[in-house]
Structure 1
Amino acid sequence: MQNRNSAFSWTWLGLGFAFLYMPMVLMVVYSFNESRLVTVWSQFSTKWYVELFNDTRMLEAAFTSLKIGVATATFAVLLGTLAAIVITRMGRFHGKTFFQMLMTAPLVMPEVITGLSLLLLFVAMKQFFGWPEGLGMTTVWIAHVTFTSAFTTVVVSSRLREVDNSIEEAARDLGAPPLKVFFVITLPIIAPALVSAWLLAFTLSIDDLVISSFVAGPGSTTLPMVVFSSVRLGVSPKINALATIVIGIVSVGIIIAGWFIYRAEKKLEREMEQASAEMAMNRTE
């Protein structure tokens, strides 16, 4: 009976993974198709990769999205970590519920409303303060940080709630200042969550289309905007080639991040076991 349940579970797990990843596998296969029709296979060819690297407009948009994504993820993790510390470490204070609501509001807010409201904000700021001078990479970056910070806050705060406060309290009792406690104890413990939050914010920034369409200027066209405009005129096999390259880069990034997270968790486990053993030895003495 147990073997039957195990086989049933593995079957459904395999079907679930096939449903999620089979379209990506087919897209990678058809990126090497010589035919101009993306749904008709003719023969193996890499000519669409060559045409992709000759497409200056798409490469510039990809580089723009990459720069915005890196800057967005870095700043969103910083803001999300600060907000998570306020939520999980500062106890009850006046307006805490309202603060949590404001931080998580972008999670449920439609992107059309977010993009339109940010556009109106930038226009009003230009009229009253003269900044920003126009729509461009700066406005796209601010907009992306606005909605990705909510995701990083949720990821980091969930990890902070799992951290044993007694470790931090013991360090403070031994005379360690709050900043040293955070950088020496808390930060290594939540490092896997920070990496996960960074990857999530980067992915959301790279993938965003609706908000970017509202706040992007002529010189800050992102990759999703270029892909969407080209798809309306007919799907080009170059998009398959571009998507294959993106999948490869993201997969390598996830593998590297997973390796670092695994090493950090194992190191933390060894340090915790060593500390527990030392405490046990001190008690026996």
Structure 2
Amino acid sequence: MHHKTYSWFLKGMLLLGLVFLYLPLVVLVIYSFNSSRLVTIWGGLSTQWYSKLLHNEQILDAVWLSIRIALCSAAAAVILGTLAGYALARIKRFRGSTLFTGMVSAPMVMPDIITGLSMLLLIIQVQMFLQNSGLDVLYFERGFFTIWLGHTTLCMAYVTVIIRSRLTELDQSLEEAAKDLGARPLKVFFLITLPSIAPAIASGFLLSITLSLDDLVIASFLSGPGSSTLPMIIFSKIKLGLDPQMNVLATIIIALVGTLAIGINYFMMRQNTRREREMVEAYYQNP
């Protein structure tokens, strides 16, 4: 009886948590079809705001810029974070390892406003140096490139932690066996280590995209004329009042992110199932 009560309690807490997380999203999606300009008053079903959003060049340009920055930042963060996580998990101790660990983890614990301000000052100094040195070919304006640098720095810290945790839990017997059989370290990494940490890499990639699309503070410091990201546009419009097009935009983002997350999780589950089946078959074929 006690076990049954405990089970119902857990189910109730789970249901309460899911309602707390997803009920606001459901309400937002419903009100994206509201015909009224006042987003808090229901005026009937309508798709007029979807049509207006598709013709809003300011928002569409911001969406396209944010997506490009998010994808590029996530790709760079995954590459750099995987290398950093591999070094921290496999090399263990090396000269400067403590400093390196602290520098990699710093963007995670440092306030975004400090990160954005420090990077802005650094970029200004670099721009002044390039101008004074006559290296006008290398000169760059604040915009896509500078926001990409800031987001890559932020996302790399999270990817490093994810990859390092996965490598720490990973059984190294397969890697050691491959090395004993004469495989070079690079081949061992691409054929054994990389497939084993692929789910962690995918998780880091998705997390990086989310962090980049969600960032407002760092992008505000590093953006330039004509390079406003989607959070910056939304924040500027919200200060003037709630716009029904924001509900539409949020609904589309929820649909895209949800589809992407479900698709990647399904793919990873299939890969893990196939890998486990192959390992079982190899075990019974070579007892």
TM-score normalised over the length of structure 1: 0.96
Structure 1 position 117 matched with structure 2 position 118: yes
Alignment match, 2:47? 46
For residues 218 and 112 of structure 1, the distance between their equivalents in structure 2, rounded to whole angstroms, comes to: 20
Match among 269, 274, 277 for residue 267 of structure 1: 274
Which residue identity is paired with 2:148? W
For residues 36 and 20 of structure 1, the distance between their equivalents in structure 2, rounded to whole angstroms, comes to: 26
Alignment match, 1:210? 217
For residues 116 and 213 of structure 2, the distance between their equivalents in structure 1, rounded to whole angstroms, comes to: 16
Name stretches of at least 5 consecutive residues in structure 2 with no aligned partner.
132-137
Q: Percent of aligned pairs with the same residue?
A: 49
Alignment match, 1:64? 65
Shift of 1:133: 2.3
3-state SS in 2 of match to 1:184 = helix
For residues 165 and 213 of structure 1, the distance between their equivalents in structure 2, rounded to whole angstroms, comes to: 44
For residues 263 and 148 of structure 1, the distance between their equivalents in structure 2, rounded to whole angstroms, comes to: 27
Shift of 1:272: 2.8
Alignment match, 1:17? 18
For residues 6 and 44 of structure 2, the distance between their equivalents in structure 1, rounded to whole angstroms, comes to: 43
Structure 1 position 150 matched with structure 2 position 151: no
Alignment match, 2:135? none
For residues 265 and 216 of structure 1, the distance between their equivalents in structure 2, rounded to whole angstroms, comes to: 41
For residues 106 and 16 of structure 1, the distance between their equivalents in structure 2, rounded to whole angstroms, comes to: 29
Match among 228, 232, 240 for residue 247 of structure 2: 240
1:34-64 Cα distance to aligned partner (Å, 9 max, x none) = 1111111110001111111111000000000
For residues 142 and 106 of structure 2, the distance between their equivalents in structure 1, rounded to whole angstroms, comes to: 24
Structure 1 position 185 matched with structure 2 position 200: no
For residues 153 and 275 of structure 1, the distance between their equivalents in structure 2, rounded to whole angstroms, comes to: 33
Which residue identity is paired with 1:72? S
For residues 23 and 248 of structure 2, the distance between their equivalents in structure 1, rounded to whole angstroms, comes to: 16
Alignment match, 1:83? 84
Shift of 1:83: 0.1
1:76-107 Cα distance to aligned partner (Å, 9 max, x none) = 00000000010001121111111111101111
Change in CA separation of 1:77 and 1:94 when aligned onto 2, cut-off 3 Å: same
Structure 1 position 27 matched with structure 2 position 28: yes
Q: Which is worse superposed, 88-97 or 250-259?
A: 88-97
Shift of 1:219: 2.1
For residues 133 and 77 of structure 1, the distance between their equivalents in structure 2, rounded to whole angstroms, comes to: 25
Q: Count how many residue pairs are aligned between Structure 1 and Structure 2.
A: 280
1:182-217 Cα distance to aligned partner (Å, 9 max, x none) = 111111111011100000001100110000000001
For residues 277 and 214 of structure 1, the distance between their equivalents in structure 2, rounded to whole angstroms, comes to: 59
For residues 225 and 244 of structure 2, the distance between their equivalents in structure 1, rounded to whole angstroms, comes to: 26
Shift of 1:134: 1.4
Alignment match, 1:104? 105
3-state SS in 2 of match to 1:45 = coil
1:241-268 Cα distance to aligned partner (Å, 9 max, x none) = 0000000000000011101110121122
For residues 161 and 235 of structure 1, the distance between their equivalents in structure 2, rounded to whole angstroms, comes to: 47
3-state SS in 2 of match to 1:167 = helix
Which residue identity is paired with 1:125? V
Shift of 1:278: 4.6
Alignment match, 1:140? 147
1:94-125 Cα distance to aligned partner (Å, 9 max, x none) = 11111111101111000000000000010000
Name stretches of at least 5 consecutive residues in structure 1 with no aligned partner.
none
For residues 250 and 184 of structure 2, the distance between their equivalents in structure 1, rounded to whole angstroms, comes to: 48
Shift of 1:166: 1.0
